[in-house]
């Protein structure tokens, strides 16, 4: 068993930080459902503004609210307006990641979805692994190597 990324919310802006709460992160349920993050699932949170890295569990917020609220001790690591990356993970075999094809939502300044990305791992005819990153955008500047573009959507 190895640890793999399961899903990711990239560039989500923190909408609130509630110190007087027992812990967790509250995220718009629609965002979680779309990428497959489950209620009470543990996630890693990486603050792009400060570099802070924490882990906590997910509470579903109101669908359509675009919320991202850090609760309890997590509230000390992020301030409203900070951009964060929220990533789930799972333990499995390589065939599990090939089947899963993890999804990523990329967000704009108002927590609107500006791109949907899929990580696609495949086996080559000789059995070795390959990978592509697909995006809904015609082009993107995420820093992925051109070798990962698979032609379905340009990178």
The residues carrying an active-site annotation are: 24, 57
By residue count, the chain amounts to: 155
Would you call 79 helix, strand, or coil by DSSP? coil
138 is known to lie in a ligand binding site: no
Cα 39 to Cα 27: distance, rounded to the nearest angstrom:
10
Q: How far apart are the first and last CA of the chain?
A: 31
Is 86:121 a contact under the CB 8 Å cutoff?
no
36 is known to lie in a ligand binding site: no
73 is known to lie in a ligand binding site: yes
Q: Which of 140, 48, 83, 27 is nearest to 7 (CA)?
A: 27
Q: Which residues pair with 53 in a beta bridge?
A: 46
Cα 31 to Cα 128: distance, rounded to the nearest angstrom:
33
154 is known to lie in a ligand binding site: no
Binding-site residues for substrate sit at 56, 72-74
């Amino acid at each position: 068993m190895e640890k793999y990324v399961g899903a990711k919310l990239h560039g989500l802006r923190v909408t609130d930080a509630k110190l007087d709460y027992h812990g967790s992160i509250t995220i718009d349920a629609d965002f979680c459902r779309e990428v497959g993050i489950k209620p009470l699932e543990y996630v890693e949170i990486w603050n792009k503004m400060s570099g802070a890295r924490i882990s906590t569990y997910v509470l579903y917020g109101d669908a359509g609210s675009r919320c991202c609220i850090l609760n309890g001790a997590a509230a000390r690591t992020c301030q409203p307006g900070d951009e964060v990356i929220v990533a789930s993970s799972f333990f499995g075999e390589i065939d599990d990641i090939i089947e899963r094809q993890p999804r990523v939502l990329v967000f704009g300044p108002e927590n609107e979805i500006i791109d949907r990305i899929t990580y696609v791992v495949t086996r080559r005819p000789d059995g070795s692994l390959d990978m592509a990153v697909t995006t809904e955008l015609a082009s993107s500047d995420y820093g992925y190597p051109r070798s990962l573009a698979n032609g379905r959507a340009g990178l």
